[in-house]
Amino acid sequence: MQNAESSSMQWSKARRSAEGYTGRWLRAAWLLIALLILFAWLILAVITWDVVNTEQGRVLQENAFSLARTSELQLSDIDSSLSLIAMLIANSTSPNVRFLLPLIHLAPIRSVGLFSAKHDLVAGENPVLLRQLWELATSSRPRSWTPAQVAAVRHCLRDKSFCIGPLLPDPTVASAASRWGFPVFQRVSEHSGQASSLIAWIPLNGGLFPAWSGLHLLHQGDSFLLRSDGMLLSRYPYSPKVDYAGVQTGIVVKHWLMEISSFTRTFSGYSSAAHGWRICAAQPIGEYHLVAGQCVGRSILATSWWRSMRWPTAGALLLLFLSFFLYYYLARTNRSRELERRTAEKEIWEAKERAEVTLSSIGDGVISTDCSGLVTNMNPIAESLTSWTLAEARGKPITQVFSIVSEADGRPVANPAERALTEGRVVGLANHTILIDRQGQRRNIEDSAAPIRDRSGKVLGTVLVFHDVSEKHELLTRLSYQATHDLLTGLPNRVLFQEHLEQAMRKAKHNESLLVIA
């Protein structure tokens, strides 16, 4: 019983250690596959983001170059026109409005005027604004202008060359988006030696610089034209959140001040005007101390990135779903099989336990061997009769553990277990057999052996059953003695005499000799 209990405990430990191994392996395999899919998607996402970022940067740089080039060409035309008119006025002894009329018909110019100490000529459609500009020269400041705007205008009035003024509001326009424009100034030297200024007004429609109206790149981001002092000259599209009158402090100004020598690259940062992260590219217009460029929000990059990643993401999600479905199916199948296996193991174990309990409870000795005739198991009765313990006998040849001789002549007899293995049949009971145990003690036994077969009929081993018949043998011997001897004298009686006589007659008949009775 102790051996059976120890074997049961060992089997339970082995079974618990093996339980769920396949399920854990499947879970680990699925997690590994899922991580590989996610890792591959992440690498692709990073590469795609880099490609989108690079492509967007290239587009922004091309757009910035186009904006700068068109702005420079238009400003150059205005500069040339103002210089020509200034030269005509300077060479004229009596300048008048007819010199200014060609400028009014120049596409971007809406109003133009000439101001000097002796002349106050105004021409165009916006004389109110031109008079306000002239009032700055007399130290008068319009209430709607900032100190930065006043300083920039006064600087241009004092400048001896072509000068571009800051953005200013047009008091004659009600629309907030269309009321902005900027003046340009050209110094005129008269014959009298007094300097006068030629002023032209360039209106912006919704913040759009006039030269940009024919470009198709404006819808791709926010376009801007910036002065060297940080003040805007143009920003399209118009945004009420942007301070058009003040000095800008955004990422473009910061990068321009830090990297004026290499300002053509792409840069990014937080834009206070747009209230978000922006990626920008800019191109300096060195002759006029301006910078033109374009910015886009990271949401544009995210949208482009998502358009490129839609199908890979769908493929990754599909692979994850399929892998999870396959894992779920295999795990469910494995759980069913595991349950069936455990149920079968439990039934087999219970049957084995019942068999071991039965073997331990019966009065016969039982020894089982494998197909090589080596002992694999024995019950306590067999241990007692052979004086071998199971631990000592396991793996030993059956002939060593179960040693038998003939009762008649003391010679060894064929082991029934070996005969069952060799002949492949049940070897019946054998009488008059003596079992010699490990201590040399002799016992009369009766034994039988049978082969153990699997479902296909293959012999897996043998089972040997025997029991002690020493008391029975002694009883039979005693009864036989009493039947053939007188109880009082102990001498052989007539029954024994008759048996001996019959034996002698059969022997004489067999030898064809005479029988003499004396």
For 185-209, the pLDDT digits (tens) are: 888 775 555 667 778 888 888 888 9
pLDDT at 40: 94
In which residue are the tokens 């009775």 written?
517
Q: What's the whole-number mean pLDDT along residues 412-437?
A: 83
CA torsion angle 201 207 209 214 (round to 10): -130
Instruction: State residue 294's pLDDT score.
Output: 87
Q: What is this structure's pTM? A: 0.59
Grade residue 215 by pLDDT with cuts at 50, 70 and 90: confident
First-to-last CA distance in the chain? Answer: 65
Residue 321 banded pLDDT, cuts 50, 70, 90: very high
Spatial distance between the Cα atoms of 97 and 124, rounded to a whole number of angstroms: 10
Closest CA to 157 of 129, 192, 116: 116
Is the predicted pLDDT of residue 19 greater than 50, yes or no?
A: no
245-303: pLDDT as tens digits: 878 777 777 766 555 445 556 777 777 666 778 888 888 887 888 888 888 888 888 88
CA atoms within 13 A on the CB side of 362: 16
- Of the pLDDT bands very low, low, confident and very high (cuts 50, 70, 90), residue 500 is low
Of the candidates 235, 247, 284, 246, the one whose C-alpha atom is nearest the C-alpha of residue 264 is 284
For residue 57, pLDDT over 90 is answered with no
Classify 249 in phi/psi space as left (phi over 0), alpha (psi -120 to 50) or beta.
Answer: alpha
**pLDDT higher than 60, residue 482:** no
Question: What percent of the chain has a predicted confidence (pLDDT) above 90?
Answer: 11
